[in-house]
Amino acid sequence: MRATNNTISGEADVIYANFMLLVLLTLVAAWRQHVLELPLFALTVLWVLIHLVGDMTTPLTLSF
Amino acid sequence: MAQLYLLAVTLNVWVLFAVLAAAFGVQLWLGEPPCPLCVIQRTALMLAGLGPLHILLRANNGMLTARVAAVGQGMAIVAASLGAIAATRQILLHILPGDAGFGSPVLGLHLYTWCFIAFACQIAASGVLAIAAGWLADSKVSWPATRVTAIAFAAIVIANLLSVIAEAGLHWELPSDPVGYLLFK
């Protein structure tokens, strides 16, 4: 049997492209030794973590 | 010691690059677009790569110091911990008896299980390299592999960004069990 809920359910999932865009921006900042490197890294980690915690505290609808 | 440290850090980036490339290979060859939790794990792999890249790029443009190494390894540990949480979450979603898991297994394990192993190894490796940083003397070193390593890593980040855009398309929602690329539908 296959569970179908592999998602952070219901929200704007366009958000995943934003995560990767932030990773890319952080990489560019690291390359240029810009002061925003660590803040961008922290922002990305926190945003992903908040997103993940939101998913983990959402009731599951697995197809068991 | 500085050269050896930079060699280890460079290998770290290339291992993460290989894991991301392998995930891409499964996506393209087996025709299995990543689910949202898989994308989160890929994001964490990329974030983990930014730690060793921080060290390489700082060393390339200035001095390799224990402080730079500590910051870079700390970044990698934080990102890998985040990825391990996401991978554990997905493993637990499919842990009950009778659940075939999500996607095709590779060498007997699903990609999210491989991801968990990769994140655990990254945490251990970064911990060891953080300890080793204690023996680093501040030094200006030349490390020619930095540029090609950073370019390759940037390329895989851009490829993943384009992949996610293709997968979500102009739709606001990304399916939990994706089977195609919404941009082309």
Q: Tell me what the mean pLDDT of segment A2-13 comes to.
A: 48
For the cut 70, the answer to whether the pLDDT of residue B98 exceeds it is yes
The three-class DSSP label of residue B7 is helix
- A2, B102: Cβ pair inside 8 Å? yes
Tens digit of pLDDT for each residue in B114-152? 999 999 999 999 999 999 988 888 878 878 888 999 999
Cα radius of gyration (chain B): 18
Please count the other Cβ atoms lying within 10 Å of the Cβ belonging to residue A8: 27
DSSP structure string for B75-120: HHHHHHHHHHHHHHHHHHHT-STT---SS--BTTB-HHHHHHHHHH
**pLDDT, tens digit, for every residue of A14-59?**
678 888 899 999 999 999 989 999 999 999 999 999 988 887 887 6
pLDDT given for residue A1 in this prediction: 35
Among all residues of chain B, which has the CA nearest to that of A11?
B173
Relative orientation angle of helices B111-132 and B66-93, to the nearest 10 degrees: 160
Q: How far is B22 from chain A (nearest CA, A)?
A: 18
**Structure-block tokens of residue B89:** 């979450």
Residue/partner pairs of A39-42 with CB below 8 Å, 24 or more apart:
A41/B47, A41/B50, A41/B75
**Residue B139 three-state SS:** strand
- Taking CB atoms within 8 Å and a gap of at least 24, the contacts of B113-117 are B113/B87, B114/B19, B115/B19, B115/B41, B115/B45, B115/B83, B115/B86, B115/B87, B116/B84, B116/B87, B116/B88, B116/B91
B75 interaction partners in chain A (CB closer than 8 Å): 38, 41
ipTM of the complex: 0.86
Average pLDDT, chain B: 88
Q: Which residues pair with B106 in a beta bridge?
A: B109
Mean pLDDT of B145-166: 91
Cβ within 8 Å, pair B89-A52: yes
**Cα–Cα distance list, B128 to A20, A26, B123, B125, B177 (Å):** 28, 25, 9, 5, 38
pLDDT of residue A25: 95
Flag if B50 and A41 touch (Cβ within 8 Å).
Answer: yes
**pLDDT tens readout for residues B10-45:** 999 999 999 999 988 888 888 888 888 888 999 999
Q: Which of A4-13, B50-59, B91-100, B127-136 has the lowest mean pLDDT?
A: A4-13
Cβ atoms of B70 and B102 within 8 Å: the answer is: no
User: What is the identity of the amino acid at B143?
Assistant: W
Cα gap B146→A35, rounded to integer Å: 20
CB within 8 Å: B36 and A16: yes
Chain A residues within 8 A (CB-CB) of chain B?
1-10, 12-14, 16-17, 19-21, 23-24, 26-27, 30-31, 33, 37-38, 41, 44-45, 48-49, 51-52, 55-56, 60, 62, 64
pLDDT confidence tier of residue B154, bands split at 50, 70 and 90: very high
Q: Looking at the DSSP assignment, which residues form a beta bridge with residue B109?
A: B106
